[in-house]
Amino acid sequence: MRSFFFDTYAFYEIIVGNQNYLPYTKDVKIVTTQLNLMELYYHLLALYNKEEALELFNRYAEFVVPVSNSMIIEAMDFRKQHYKKDLSYVDSIGYTIAKKMNIKYLTGDRQFENIENVEFVK
């Protein structure tokens, strides 16, 4: 089974029905963080009522991995190295976790196009 770190972008595109993300909805191990679910929940509140947004949030909660202090430091080093790309804190942490776990970072965020270890899907 293939494993991917799901960025907030990936979750959102799956939820709104982007067909390009269909291959990532079956037979895939999902990894993410609470921070990504925090972003997802916020964006879902713009589309759905609170109850539906919470249901979607909870659907993905089982896939959360912890974020250690050392991972935060490594992620901020990565963000600093790529400061011209204006990467978010959450994205930097997710990408670093994916790299550390030796899995692809699944996203469509343009800042990650052409970065190693990224499965870029629009």
* Residues 74/89, Cβ–Cβ less than 8 Å: no
Report the topology of domain 2-120.
Rossmann fold (3.40.50)
Instruction: Please state the pTM of the whole predicted model.
Output: 0.96
What backbone torsions phi and psi does residue 67 show, to the nearest 5 degrees?
-110, 115
The closest alpha carbon to 88, from 8, 6, 5, belongs to 8
Domains of the chain by residue range: 2-120
Per-residue pLDDT of the chain (122 residues), as tens digits, is: 999 999 999 999 999 999 999 999 999 999 999 999 999 999 999 999 999 999 999 999 999 999 999 999 999 999 999 999 999 999 999 999 999 999 999 999 999 999 999 999 99
Quick check: 4 and 24 in contact, CB under 8 A?
Answer: yes
